[in-house]
Structure 1
Amino acid sequence: MSSAKQTRINLLFNVLSLIANILVGIFYTPYLVKSLGVVAYGVLPLALIINQYISVLTGSLTSALTRFYSIALRQNKIKEASKYLSTSLFVVFILIILLFYPLSYFINHIDNYFNIPFLLLNDSKKLFTFTIISFFISLITSVLNITLYAYNRLDLLNIIKIIRVLGKLLFVLIFFNFFEVNIEYIGLANFVTELIVLIVSIYFFYNFSVDKVRLIWNGFDKSILVSVGSMAMWIIVQQLGDTGLYRIDNLIVNKFWTTKESGILGAFTELGNYTIIIASVISSLFGPLILIAYAKNDNSEMKRLTIDRSLGVGILVSVMIGILGGFSPIILNVWLGEEFVPYYKWLMIKLFLIPFYSSAGVFAFSIRALNKVKFTAILTVSLGLINILLAYLIAYFNRSENAIELILLLGIILGIIQSYFLNGLYFANFYKGTYSKVLINSIKILLTITSIYFLGFIITPFFNGINNILSLIYIFIIGIILLAISFKIMLSKEQINEMISLIYKKK
């Protein structure tokens, strides 16, 4: 199958995955908030954050593996690719065993680390247990699915994503309706869903990998572990910094305030995650293409893909975030309820980083393909530590809700520096003539989101008295118009045509 045709198929399944995520996103978070209450819901983001920290260690291995494994496959080094896969799967099992005891201790003493109401403590421990076990299962799944990624079969990967997102919702509905409304059943739903996803992934792996690559149970190779581990170590360092920048706010809010505030902030974070998923409909198409270009030593294609696609993704997400932030009082009232509306500024601040973060993700594809992660890792963890220290000091000396806004603003400033400028300018260091393009693109992204924020702020009062559903329809129409205008102004004709060609190109 040609690359262009496969890309269009990938986009189709990306859109199907997007639809599934949007439908679940519209229903799932409000359903949990209304069923559990804001205080009980506030425990859920804490469990997800712990998964984020664990994934720093284990997910970094799969990120490094993807780079080496994909290049080996594209260069038709099947035996070497098989050793990469087998060695990494072996290491994942070892990591799971090593993490078992410390995580068990953490769960048993969870009240020492988080501010959790006593009545929710036992249920919270069960939630954390199921969530962590589910994550371990997903690690095995992710290693098996690297073969699909390497061969640019994002369509099959999206089938797995759809099963995962719909499965979690379905089982939560079943458990809540046939047993009881309890946060532990959210963890159980995740566990059951991940088991199903693992079975499907094993099926895809063995059917798609026939005569291509195979697991060698005695295929552990120390030299491969060293090469993958060296890159993984620096990815671990970088992702520790990422977590310090993007997730620490919720932990600090829980520590110094209550699960109510952390629950509100967690719900807003979920909304941001859904916009990242929407952005990935486009951006995820380029990861395999960048790796393929690198494997072929096609530097001009890598440069073009990275610069142009990062801008396209940035503008797309800027419009979405601008709409969500600018019209946030209306959207929050419809989506989560009137009690969330007074906190709309938190949402606006929390979302502002996402366009830069999504755009920088394209730069990250190229930096990892080049295996140049050490420098960005050191600076990222440094910024992460600065963010943790300053956010902690702000919360320690100021317990008002205004302090939460300061913590979020601090995260935006350091996050933009780390995500976009660090990755973008470091990428430009390897490709002459791209510094100015990276800087100009950042200005375009900034102008897009701020102008739409301002426009939404001006228009919102005119929606008073209008039916909620009708308001959302108007906002959607405004968003489509602004997206078309933004693309026309911020992207060149060639860039627009290339984005369109992902769908309509027939050769």
Structure 2
Amino acid sequence: MEDRDRAEVNRSFVGQFPLNLISNILLFVVNVVTGFWLTPFFISTLGIAAYGLIPLAVTITTYLGLATRSLNFTVARYLTVDLQRQEYASANLTFNTAFFGIVGLTIFLVFPVVFLLAFNVDAVFNVPLGELTDVIYLFLGIHVAFLIRTVGSTFSVSFFANNRLDLYNIVEAFGRILEVGLIVAFFLWFAPRLGYVGVAYLVTSIILLVLMIGAWRVLTPQLSVRLRSFHRGTLKEMSVFGSWMLVNEIGSLLFLQVDLIIVNIFLGPFAGGEYAVALTWSILLRTMGGVLAGVLAPMIFIYYAKEMFAEIKRMALSSVKCMGLALALPVGLLCGFGSELLTLWVGAEHAGLAPLLALLVIHLGVNLAVLPLNHVMISYSRVKIPGLATIALGAANVILALWLVVGAGWGVFGVATAGAIFFTVKSSVFMPWYSAKVLSLPVRVFFKPLVTGASATLVIALISFLLGGLVPIESWLELGVISGAIGILYLLFVWCCLFTEEERTIFGSLLPAQIRKFLLPSTGGEGSSPLEKY
């Protein structure tokens, strides 16, 4: 690839990265604020047992979408390569094969399961007395909405392939705000009922589908929906790749989405509701990790399409270090201030969930730091070995969780402990080792930044816990001021002491000019990005 082309790709990355990152952060903030506010709202209006069924219903959608989500990952990889290489005929084959394949899977396989599960939900899960009809509507609404969004996700690949995550995030943020607004409106205008939550999800999904199709037409006018462009050969090629992605997805669900189901079935809806309260913060951190890693995914695929392999290695190394250091702050604060947070958020009667909260999140600082490596493995089509490892460790996680809950009597702590152990083995041991092998790098290169991130997490957690014992925290303002002070000192320490000069220059070049001028006064905020020399 010519140096001029490399420079153009890197300039595009530098120009779009801040927009994608800021919009990703704003979407995360929207999800945090709405999720943060909705939990006590649901508990106060529906009760904690009924509330626990909402995240449970959402969890089931992740299992329903296994095949379609794996196909979407595959489409994102192939379509990005086709569009970046301007192979539009191949791009149309990829898009239409995926679209009609997902529609077929949805109609003939997933749709019947949705109705069967919804109308027999009480035979599978513990349902509070008097709530069965509303629970049926809840499951129907959330699951049919999921099917609509699954079909719409094929159109959303255009955002990814064109590295316009900023537009995608705007649509998603609007959808989340609309969803919450509809729930509140239904509860206030009619009555607090689980069924209205399902209706809100359904209406929102239809509106988002229309917006996704409109954006798809603008971003990728080269693509069109044509049944004749469905190609069995293309489907077979993607299916081989997608089948291993499916294996990986199943394994990931056994890590991340099985705990609520086990708690509901074996410990009851009340325990499920309490577990869901603590799990909310684990989900938010995972979302945050996905936000930070997701902003890099389009450029990793574009670099691969342009055969810029040195840039992929460089990005992989820097992103793992930065992810670990970025996640250390919220994880440490949650562990240290867990009791104070729960008291202010859902009431003092739930402050006893602080140890469970700490167990659920303490390992995420390092385990989520390796998320960018998943995108690297997808770009290199090296998904078979990670898939096998993930499903094996995921199955072991379920077995250990069941034994700790049923056999050892550990209750909710058994589920959380099993998840922490095997998720750490998979993410912080296997993925760094395998990624280094694929990228032909020394095995140790990814472990060093993980140790740094883990150390930062423990130090912040310890400082926060000690401050929580010394300084009474009785309001959100006090918690915010103390957390903010810790955060500012930590970020300054990271920037000055943990980042190398090269990393400060690289990441400073991706910031807005005013901030870049303040952090990098020697450059005056001008000059070319060091990425361009590649």
TM-score (norm 1): 0.95
Q: Pick which of 115-124 and 283-292 moved more.
A: 115-124
Written as runs of structure 1 = structure 2, the 5 A alignment for 1:246-257 is: 246-257=256-267
Q: Helix, strand or coil: the match of 1:231?
A: helix
C-alpha change, 1:477 and 1:34, in structure 2 (3 Å) is farther
Deviation at 1:482, TM superposition (A): 2.1
Residue 55 of structure 2 corresponds to: 45
Tell me which amino acid in the other structure corresponds to 1:463.
V
What is the Cα-based RMSD across aligned positions, in Å? 1.8
C-alpha change, 1:183 and 1:496, in structure 2 (3 Å) is farther
Contact 2:290 2:371 in 1 (8 A): no
Tell me which amino acid in the other structure corresponds to 1:408.
A
Task: Quote the Cα distance in structure 1 between the aligned partners of 2:361 and 2:65.
Answer: 23
Q: Helix, strand or coil: the match of 2:335?
A: helix
C-alpha change, 1:489 and 1:29, in structure 2 (3 Å) is farther
Tell me which amino acid in the other structure corresponds to 2:322.
G
Structure 1, residues 377-435: CA drift from partner, whole Å, max 9, x if none? 11111111111111112211244xx4322321221110011123222211111223341
Task: Quote the Cα distance in structure 1 between the aligned partners of 2:408 and 2:119.
Answer: 31
The partner residue of 1:167 within 174, 178, 186 is: 178
Tell me which amino acid in the other structure corresponds to 2:110.
L
1:125 and 2:136 correspond: yes
Q: Which runs of 5+ in 1 are unaligned?
A: none
Deviation at 1:169, TM superposition (A): 0.7
The partner residue of 2:411 within 399, 403, 411 is: 403
Deviation at 1:334, TM superposition (A): 1.3
Residue 478 of structure 2 corresponds to: 470
Written as runs of structure 1 = structure 2, the 5 A alignment for 1:98-137 is: 98-137=109-148
C-alpha change, 1:318 and 1:60, in structure 2 (3 Å) is same
C-alpha change, 1:213 and 1:337, in structure 2 (3 Å) is same
Contact 2:369 2:450 in 1 (8 A): no
Deviation at 1:267, TM superposition (A): 2.4
Structure 1, residues 83-121: CA drift from partner, whole Å, max 9, x if none? 111011101111111222233222222122212223222
Residue 313 of structure 2 corresponds to: 303
1:65 and 2:75 correspond: yes
Structure 1, residues 32-87: CA drift from partner, whole Å, max 9, x if none? 22221111101112101101111222111100111111111111101101111101
Residue 6 of structure 2 corresponds to: none
1:416 and 2:427 correspond: no
Tell me which amino acid in the other structure corresponds to 2:121.
I
Residue 432 of structure 1 corresponds to: 440
Tell me which amino acid in the other structure corresponds to 2:147.
F
1:157 and 2:142 correspond: no
Query: How many correspondences in the alignment?
Result: 504
Task: Quote the Cα distance in structure 1 between the aligned partners of 2:146 and 2:242.
Answer: 19
The partner residue of 2:386 within 352, 364, 376 is: 376
Written as runs of structure 1 = structure 2, the 5 A alignment for 1:275-290 is: 275-290=285-300
Residue 503 of structure 1 corresponds to: 511
Structure 1, residues 454-479: CA drift from partner, whole Å, max 9, x if none? 22222211232644422332222222
Deviation at 1:339, TM superposition (A): 1.9
Structure 1, residues 434-464: CA drift from partner, whole Å, max 9, x if none? 4111111221121111222222222211232
Tell me which amino acid in the other structure corresponds to 2:430.
L
Q: Which runs of 5+ in 2 are unaligned?
A: 1-10, 514-525, 529-534
Deviation at 1:489, TM superposition (A): 3.9
Task: Quote the Cα distance in structure 2 between the aligned partners of 1:410 and 1:388.
Answer: 8
Contact 1:83 1:220 in 2 (8 A): yes
Tell me which amino acid in the other structure corresponds to 2:159.
L
Q: Helix, strand or coil: the match of 1:359?
A: coil
Q: Helix, strand or coil: the match of 2:368?
A: helix
Q: Helix, strand or coil: the match of 2:65?
A: helix
Residue 155 of structure 2 corresponds to: 144
Task: Quote the Cα distance in structure 2 between the aligned partners of 1:125 and 1:466.
Answer: 40
Q: Pick which of 11-20 and 138-147 moved more.
A: 11-20
Q: Helix, strand or coil: the match of 1:502?
A: coil
C-alpha change, 1:277 and 1:496, in structure 2 (3 Å) is farther
The partner residue of 2:449 within 441, 449, 468 is: 441
**Percentage of pairs with the same residue:** 23
